[in-house]
Amino acid sequence: MSTESGKTKKALLGMSAQDIAVLLPDYPKYCGAQIYGFLNDGRTFAEMTSLKKELRVYLDENYVANPVRILKTFEGRDGAKKYLFALTDGNLIEGVYMPHDYGNTLCLSTQVGCRMGCTFCASGLDGLVRNLTVGEMLGQVVAVNRDSGGSSKNRAVNKLVLMGSGEPFDNYDNVLAFLCEVGNEKGLNIGERNISLSTSGLCDKIVKFADSGHKVTLSISLHSPFDGDRSALMPVNKAYGIDELIRSAKYYFQKTGRRVIFEYTLIRGKNDSDACARRLAELTSGFPSHVNLIRLNEVKENDYTAPSADAANEFLAKLQRLGVSSTIRKSLGADIEGACGQLRRRYAEEISE
């Protein structure tokens, strides 16, 4: 919603072609489908030149095309590009675009802030501000496509990871509606084979999601194989302990046939011991899964530090000796405040100085 000149403007991106047609009873029905296509191509109303001028003016006066606007971009040394987006109510979110040979991936946000309170993460420091709408999730993809060139036949972004700020399963209904909408052939057409979703481990939602028929790659942020230590890093563990988390992960595999990815951010002295490697191997054995190690992106708001690259490689070697399928994820975009939530905070600090 925008409150420009005191008037509330609704975003059209996120609405179906039929819903758009209903808003325009004086125009032929096919206008709904046309506008839907243009919105997904990232056009402004002024650029929808095959529509009558009076319709373009009417749309511009009453609606917003994309509720997500690129405020700033930051290019990383590694080819990653970080985006700071502004929403129509002034809230800020962020995303990272990572072009690769095997697919151009956008890491997008699902909430403004986050209420899960993980102690190493910058996104949760100020708590949850609000959920993102379907249009605001689509809008991030549309804005990056437009910024990166490409055409409606050959769009820049073809893979998505729901790993920006926010807990996707804390915004469950909108995230599921987004997954349906982003796969629409007449829209962005990104199928679930090309989508990963990362959760801090809301077990009831993992089970519900497994039963929903959606089949994305599920990443679970584990970060410690011991309940006490995990609860200290991730308060969500007090509600859903590790045993229940592993049961839900196995259930997700049974229902979808997709191996589960465990995200494991290495924090020096907190979760990088030999005992951690052994317990992690026990927990993840017995069903198809993969452990993704990430060296902590240090944030200035806490005292956690990352292990050295050598120590991280040694932890990986231990896991592999124990038979765990595992890799270290290159910390993309670390030089551009790549960790979740850091950029938005830094920007908010800068403008308040």
CB of 284 to ligand SF4, least distance (A): 19
167 to 279, 323, 325: CA distances (angstroms): 26, 30, 26
Q: How far apart are CA 162 and CA 139, in angstroms?
A: 14
Q: Is 106 in the site for ligand SAH (CB under 6 A)?
A: no
Task: Give how many residues touch ligand SAH by CB under 6 A.
Answer: 18
Q: Of 167, 166, 165, 159, whose CA–CA distance to 183 is shortest?
A: 159
Q: Is 332 in the site for ligand SAH (CB under 6 A)?
A: no
Nearer Cβ to ligand SF4, position 287 or 347?
A: 347
37, burial (CB in 10 Å: exposed 0-12, middle 13-18, buried 19+): middle
Q: Could you say which of 4, 47, 94, 107 is catalytic?
A: 94
Q: Is 339 in the site for ligand SAH (CB under 6 A)?
A: yes
String marking each residue 293-322 x if it binds ligand SAH according to CB under 6 A: -x-xx-x-----------------------
Nearer Cβ to ligand SF4, position 42 or 333?
A: 333
Q: Of 131, 133, 141, whose CA–CA distance to 182 is shortest?
A: 141
Active site (annotated) includes residue 353: no
Query: Which of positions 234-293 make contact with ligand SAH (CB under 6 A)?
Result: 263, 265
CB of 302 to ligand SAH, least distance (A): 9
By a kind-dependent CB cut-off of 5 to 8 A, residue 66 interacts, out of ligand SAH, ligand SF4, none, with none
Q: How far apart are CA 166 and CA 93, in angstroms?
A: 10
By a kind-dependent CB cut-off of 5 to 8 A, residue 124 interacts, out of ligand SF4, ligand SAH, none, with ligand SF4
CB of 10 to ligand SF4, least distance (A): 28
Nearer Cβ to ligand SAH, position 194 or 199?
A: 199
**Placement of tokens 């036949």 in the chain:** 153
Q: Is 221 in the site for ligand SAH (CB under 6 A)?
A: yes
Q: Is 132 in the site for ligand SAH (CB under 6 A)?
A: no
Nearer Cβ to ligand SF4, position 94 or 167?
A: 167
Q: Of 266, 236, 267, 250, whose CA–CA distance to 326 is shortest?
A: 266
The neighbouring-strand residues paired with 294 are: 265, 329
Sign of CA dihedral 125, 128, 134, 139: negative
Q: Which residues contact 336 (CB under 8 A, 6 or more apart)?
A: 74, 75, 76, 80, 81, 82, 343
CB of 143 to ligand SAH, least distance (A): 19
The neighbouring-strand residues paired with 221 are: 263
By a kind-dependent CB cut-off of 5 to 8 A, residue 263 interacts, out of ligand SAH, ligand SF4, none, with ligand SAH
Q: How far apart are CA 121 and CA 298, in angstroms?
A: 9
Q: How far apart are CA 56 and CA 45, in angstroms?
A: 6
Judged by CB under 6 A, the residue of 88, 199, 237, 256 near ligand SAH is: 199
Beta-sheet pairing, 195-199 with 111-113: unpaired
Beta-sheet pairing, 260-266 with 217-221: parallel
Nearer Cβ to ligand SF4, position 167 or 272?
A: 167
CB of 108 to ligand SAH, least distance (A): 10
- Which residue ranges make up the site for ligand SF4 (CB under 6 A)? 114, 116-118, 121, 123-124, 165-167, 200, 221, 340
What length is written for the chain? 353
Contact between 262 and 222 under an 8 Å Cβ cutoff? The reply is yes
The neighbouring-strand residues paired with 81 are: 75, 97
Judged by CB under 6 A, the residue of 27, 120, 251, 262 near ligand SAH is: 120
Active site (annotated) includes residue 340: yes
- Write out the residues near ligand SAH by the rule CB under 6 A: 114, 118, 120-121, 163, 167, 198-200, 221, 263, 265, 294, 296-297, 299, 339-340
Supply the residues annotated as catalytic. Answer: 94, 340
